[in-house]
Amino acid sequence: MAVHPTVIPGLLIVDLPVHRDNRGWFKENWQRAKMTALGLPDFGPVQQNISFNGDVGTTRGIHAEPWDKFVSVATGRIFGAWVDLREGPAFGSSVTLEMGPDQAVFVPRGVGNAYQTLEHDTAYAYLVNAHWRPDAEYQFVNLADETVAIEWPIALESAELSDKDRAHPRLASVRPVSAARPVVIGGNGQLGRALRRLIPDATFLTRAELDVSDASALESLDLSGCSAIINAAAYTNVDGAETTAGRATAWQVNATAVGALAGLAARLGVPFVTVSSDYVFDGTVESHAEDEAYSPLGVYGQSKAAGELAARAAPRHYIVRTSWVVGDGPNFVRTMASLAAKGVDPQVICDQQGRLTFADDLARGILHLLSSEAPSGVYNLSSSGPVMSWFDVARAVFELTGHDPERVVATTAEAYASGRGAVTTAPRPRHSAFDLGRLEATGFVPRDTVVALREYLAG
């Protein structure tokens, strides 16, 4: 068994060993473990179709469908032709191959597929990774297109074609199939906005468009044709999660919805990314590794830990664990800068340690994991550099904005909580810093905390 690339990106020719004896022959037409080890995508087929053709010269295509296909011959022989109808520099390029039972072809979404039978009673089989549906959008190109110039063994004038196939447009009139793009859930949060700047052509679903706390909305969600699902939605009201209403919402958004999205990614055969938190730990360890046992102190952390477990339902998953996020929107750094400008001298907690995570770095790190096809699993992602307390961060903000850092007054987490009176205060980890070695081993090194903070305030 062997897999060969072609001039069409993603179109792969597979050599299949055929074992013959006096009874006939046997072959492994689809063998997931062997084929993926050789470089074939683990595309997750869900439907198999067989097209039987009685006569020589039966010709079908050229059809580009919104799913991947794995085509092969059960009996007989064909002349196969494939044309790239996807947007990009390979648009219009073609590959042809005469094939029998000893070969197969993996056809990625958006590549037009056609064949002509060379023997009587030819059976053409194909696996697809999405169920056929009547509203699916196809693209077509004429079998006789002069630009593609496929040299059919049997002249099309003598071949058996459908009227539809004869009437398909020439290549010049074909609208290229748009590239599969990521879908970002929670497209208007700090991470969502950072991702918009990096991948503006992606699909972004805001809370108004998809409320992940609505189970029925998740059940009816159709993301067919996407290249990845990035879950940037979260319930982040740590104190609110300790209330009766907040507890239910935190679990629905941070755990149940994550499981639903991971299941959808699994069915679509695309990577799934979800963002988790340092709150899955109790903070007794000074630097958290990815394989540390869960030990959440409160409801928020419990719901995020459950979400991490639920995310594993997607075969290719990235659980990106982060802390102290700073981006485009309300956050601690903006609050401190505003208080400094207003002449307010804040009391800030000095006994909780960690690192800031800038949303731009978080977005870049997520896209790096996807583009580099890093191994599935959990990755810690925060800024690098020194571990700081909230008090240290506040002093740095005052200093970098031209104010006296001595105006920031240190307080403890216990004193801060007692000063809030009747307001519910959730327990928080004392230590939130991450070991970043696993992420850095993939080739991504986050910016230093102080450097990133200076750039953020200057912007």
Q: Which residue has the tokens 């980890």?
A: 429
Helix ranges (H only) for 2-120 are 32-37
- Which residues make beta-bridge pairs with 348? 410
C-alpha to C-alpha distance for 296 and 281, rounded to whole angstroms: 5
Q: Are 55 and 117 a contacting pair, CB within 8 Å?
A: yes
C-alpha to C-alpha distance for 120 and 55, rounded to whole angstroms: 5
Q: Which residue has the tokens 């064949």?
A: 115
C-alpha to C-alpha distance for 157 and 169, rounded to whole angstroms: 17
Q: Which of 63, 288, 317, 403 is catalytic?
A: 63
C-alpha to C-alpha distance for 206 and 186, rounded to whole angstroms: 5
Annotated catalytic residue 368: no
Residues sharing a CB contact under 8 Å with residue 172, sequence separation 6 or more, in sequence order: 147
Residues sharing a CB contact under 8 Å with residue 397, sequence separation 6 or more, in sequence order: 333, 336, 337, 340, 453, 457
SS3 call for 29 = coil
In one-letter notation, the amino acid at residue 37 is A
What would the two tokens of residue 93 be? 């390029």
Cis ω before 62 (30° cut-off from 0): yes
C-alpha to C-alpha distance for 369 and 379, rounded to whole angstroms: 9
Q: Are 185 and 264 a contacting pair, CB within 8 Å?
A: no
Indicate the pairing of strand 347-349 with strand 409-411. parallel
Q: Are 217 and 256 a contacting pair, CB within 8 Å?
A: no
Q: Which of 19, 120, 124, 126 is catalytic?
A: 126
C-alpha to C-alpha distance for 380 and 288, rounded to whole angstroms: 8
Active site residues: 63, 126
